[in-house]
Chain A
Amino acid sequence: MKNILAVEKIEKYYGNEENMTKAIDNINFEVREGEFAGIMGPSGSGKTTLLNCISTIDSVTTGKIMINDKDITRLKPKELDIFRQNELGFIFQDFNLLDTLTSYENIALSLTIKGEKVENVDEKIRSVATYLGIEDILNKYPYQISGGQKQRVASARAIVTDPSLILADEPTGSLDSKSARLLLEKFEKLNTDLNATILMVTHDAFTASYAHRILFIKDGKLFTELVRGNDTRKEFFNRIIDVITLIGGDDNDVF
């Protein structure tokens, strides 16, 4: 199966020569088509910087990021916008829904920004809404629906453009556990039924346990990698906890 995302030797520095912080320090990894991958790490580990670089919001200092065999670090600003519209779908912790628009319009917006044909818009929204179980709330405004519903609308918005890669940044961060579980089940479904490639950043072990493979990042470096394989979610969850304890243990050694 081909690689959707290939991150090659990327580094990201902040500050000047005398006082330099390496937010990302030589990270390499791949995400294959149809994979549901997770990135975990304590705060300050560089996971958000990594996601920002992949999502073209931030730029790397050195290295290559290939998405669908295209090096996005070499794209011009205009090409970046078009790339973002076509290849990427975003799901954010704080939903980022526009409060002036109904759910329907929020989903429509990502299609219209992309320049989708007018006659396809409605049909695409309906089908993705059915899939995520939000047909009933399409005409409601964000303030009228619950957090879980908002995140499902945001997910619908992310996948409606049929992107190569869905980037989810702490998607369950603002949700209660029941809504979180519901959302993650939808993610699983998207992944298995529609073969959607998902890269999810989280610091929550439960959320992470839904992924197939987890990359652990610490101090800007790839710390370790866990593959779920044939484990049950419960077993995978326990292994994740072990790694978290290990990473946390390092911190404890300092004192």
Chain B
Amino acid sequence: MYFKIAIKNVKKSFKDYSIYFLTLTLAVCIFYSFNSLESQEVLTDIEISGKSYVDTLSTIISYMSVFVAFILGSLILYANNFLIKKRNKELGIYMTLGMSKGTISKILIYETLLVGALSLISGIMVGLLTSQGLSIMVSKLFEINLDNYSFIISLSSILKTIAYFGMMYFLVMIFNTYIIAKYKIIDLLTVGRKTEEIKFKNPVIYLITFLLCILSLGSAYVLILDVGLDPKNFKFILSIILGMAGTLLFFYSLSGAALYIVKRNKKIYFKGLNIFVIKQINSKINTNFISMSVVCLMLFLTIGILSTGFSFKSALESGLKGSTPFDASAYLFVDEEDEIKNISTALDNLNFTFDEEDEVVFYNEYTKDLKISDILPMEKDLNQFQFEVSFIKASDYNNIRKLEGKQEIQLDDSDLLLTSNYSELAAEIQTFMDDNDTLKLSDSVYEIQNTDVINTNLKTDFAENNLLTIIIDDAFLNDASVITSVVNIEFANKSNSQSKKDFEELMYDYKQGKIDPTEGSFILGNTRSQIYEENKGLTTTLLFVGIYLGIVFLISSMAVLALQQLSEASDSIPRYISLKKLGASKKNIIKTIFVQTLIYFSIPIGLALVHSIVGIQVANDFISAFNKPDIGTASLITAGFLSSIYAIYFYTTYIGYKNIVLSKI
């Protein structure tokens, strides 16, 4: 009997609360998709440098899932609260009919069970499909061959999803029982009639807070653009706090300030149903300013993560080509006190030998105790200019070029070459070279032989990090001290080389601390393939966690906005009835609903976009330290993704709102 009532209620809710189901289904779907990654067979095979990145990825995702479950749980409670509130009257009628609170709770528990089961089933169904798409995406990102691809259903992830969401639904049940226990019949029955008190304070207060908001947002932007992505810096933290406070103030004051301004513009204020629209939005934002601020910040995070995440990844990866000119490189930092000043000696001490057919070039980087800013008059005050200038002997450089398969360069004793590929710095040096043909070093003037800066790495490394290396006649460096001793290797057997394996093992042992540095100083080295794989593992893992969180944030914020609009719709029915009686046409009323929903959805996204423009700028400055990022594609993908989710929620909300109102007028 009670189960029947529950079933009927759920059927009703299906129509009224499509948003609730949409959100639950999407939440389950995403939760399953990301957690099922570990079971995707294609991915379990990939082992890179002794460890599986997919393992790390799925471990991180399962940790993140706890956090995500927390967010989704709060979202579900929030949505459930709306459902219950909407049904106060119905529950009150049950009570007046003599139904006990226990029984009502029972009906609600049945309902939650039903809704939960339905959303779990539909969510997992969709999740089964999206998880395949996700695993294809992962394999693309990790560049795995998809020959033996098969459709995977991960039982363990299904169970995990059911367990997590079961917990959330259980919480919802407890919450509902608590709410019911607290209710009095009179409140339940009259709740619709109590008109919400609309508190509007003096407009001056709103204007002042709005000014404060602009001030704090403005200074937050200035601070963060100045200091960049530096979480340890006090200014960075201050700007985050100011940004959050500014966002809160924005939503607190926005409607009041906007109302104040619009009221002065009679042309807008007294046009059609504008008064009504403005006041509708005004009262809604006024009561929901905190949740709107949270939504705005979440959207900002989503936009930020998604757009910079992709460009972060592509920037790091496109940089790899330039940062790995050789199959492998190893290097040794040399101090004055060190006994071993040469990597070749160090390797000999370790009894490490290359294959006879491997091409090997040893060279040293020297220092003259010169800072970059000492020799190059630069306009911009960049931190990079505090670094020391490296020097390489012309003979060494020619050996390096030979190894790269390039022609040798003849350098007179009064000539030098400038090399740099550290993005912004290289550009600065190029500007300098466009204006100058000579460079003053140690009181003598040298001719710069190259017209364009040579932008290559001189050794294989994780990033394009050649700040400024000057190639100069050997004699100039006779009394200079060595800072780094380097070896570049091109292996004879590209695919399966024993010496490559030995080399990787040796470097691995160093990193693991298995070799006592005193025996042969501390050598750092990587092969090109190692760098590629490590980089992919790192960036892909980061990117995935980012996408996971981003999507969850996005769906949560959209759901919150949609639910607020829909609850507003049922609250506003009497208002629309009045409008209709006053002679407002159906067309105008529908237009009002559209405009209202649009504005309500746009304001948080609008501010989030402004935040994002600044945020992306900051992230770009940070990323461009590695490479010039290609933000375009990532932004387009993000924009496309964001707007499609936005459009789905906006349209569902608008249609829902419209149906709720039109069914009553």
Contact = CB atoms under 8 A, between A and B. Distances in A.
Interface stretch (A34-42, A113-121, A192-200): A113-121
Given A81-B584, A81-B585, A108-B275, A100 B270 contact: no
A105 B187 CA distance: 30
B270 A98 contact: no
B232 interface: no
A110 B580 CA distance: 11
Contact of B578 (A88, A96, A108, A114): A96
Contact of A113 (B272, B280, B586): B272
Contacts of A114: 583
Nearest to A84: B583
A80 B584 CA distance: 10
A53 B300 CA distance: 53
A147 to B, nearest CB: 13
A72 to B, nearest CB: 13
Given A98-B575, A100-B279, A143-B197, A118 B585 contact: no
A88 B583 contact: yes
A99 B195 contact: yes
Interface in A108-133: 108-116, 118-119, 121-122
A78 B581 CA distance: 14
A112 B195 contact: no
A141 interface: yes
A100 B280 contact: yes
Contacts of A88: 583
A99 B198 contact: yes
In the A-B complex, the 9 residue pairs with the closest CB atoms: A84-B583, A85-B583, A81-B585, A100-B279, A96-B578, A99-B195, A118-B270, A121-B270, A118-B266
Contacts of A227: none
A220 interface: no
17 contacts: A77-B586, A85-B583, A88-B583, A90-B581, A96-B578, A98-B575, A99-B195, A105-B275, A105-B279, A112-B270, A112-B272, A113-B582, A113-B588, A116-B270, A118-B267, A118-B270, A143-B195
Contact of A141 (B198, B271, B272, B574): B198
A50 interface: no
Contacts of B273: 109, 112-113
A112 B202 CA distance: 25
Given A90-B581, A113-B584, A100 B283 contact: yes
B212 to A, nearest CB: 26
B195 A90 contact: no
Contacts of B274: 112
A114 B588 CA distance: 12
Contacts of B588: 113
A57 B575 CA distance: 16
Interface in B568-608: 574-575, 577-579, 581-586, 588
Contacts of B585: 77-78, 81
Interface string B188-207: 00000001111000000000
Given A97-B578, A113-B272, 4 more contacts: A88-B583, A112-B274, A119-B266, A141-B198
Interface of B: 195-198, 266-267, 270-276, 279-280, 282-283, 574-575, 577-579, 581-586, 588
A108 B268 CA distance: 13
A112 B582 contact: no
The secondary structure that dominates the B interface is helix
Interface of A: 57, 77-78, 81-82, 84-85, 88, 90, 92, 96-101, 105, 108-116, 118-119, 121-122, 141-143, 157
Secondary structure class of chain A's binding surface, majority of residues: helix
A119 B270 CA distance: 9
A112 B198 contact: no
| Most chain B beta carbons < 10 A, residue from A82, A84, A116, A157 | A84
Contacts of B575: 98-100
A142 B195 CA distance: 9
Q: Pick from A84, A96, A100 the residue with the most CB of B within 10 Å.
A: A100
Contacts of B583: 81-82, 84-85, 88, 110, 113-114
Nearest to A57: B581
B590 to A, nearest CB: 13
A90 B583 CA distance: 10
B578 A98 contact: yes
Contacts of A97: 578
A115 B272 CA distance: 6
B270 A111 contact: yes
B581 A112 contact: no
Given A99-B196, A100-B282, A100-B283, A109 B276 contact: yes
Contacts of A57: 581
A48 B624 CA distance: 74
Contacts of B279: 98, 100-101, 105
Given A85-B583, A90-B581, A100 B271 contact: no
A118 B271 contact: yes
Most A CB atoms within 10 A — which of B266, B267, B274, B581?
A: B581
B11 to A, nearest CB: 28
Nearest to B585: A81
A110 to B, nearest CB: 5
A84 B574 CA distance: 19
Contacts of B282: 100
A100 B197 CA distance: 9
A176 B578 CA distance: 23
- Among B272, B273, B275, B574, max chain A CB count under 10 A is at B275
Given A109-B582, A113-B584, A114-B583, A121 B266 contact: yes
Nearest to B195: A99
B239 to A, nearest CB: 37
B577 A96 contact: yes
B271 A112 contact: yes
Contacts of A98: 276, 279, 575, 578-579
Contacts of A142: 195
Nearest to A55: B581
B552 to A, nearest CB: 34
A103 to B, nearest CB: 12
A234 to B, nearest CB: 35
Given A99-B575, A109-B276, A142-B195, A92 B581 contact: yes
A92 B581 CA distance: 10
Contacts of A116: 270
A72 B233 CA distance: 74
A138 B583 CA distance: 22
Contacts of A84: 582-583
A113 B274 CA distance: 9
Contacts of B586: 77
A118 B574 CA distance: 27
B70 to A, nearest CB: 35
Nearest to B199: A141
Contacts of B574: 96
A119 to B, nearest CB: 8
Contacts of A118: 266-267, 270-271
Nearest to B266: A118
A156 B267 CA distance: 22
Contacts of B581: 57, 90, 92, 96
Contacts of B283: 100
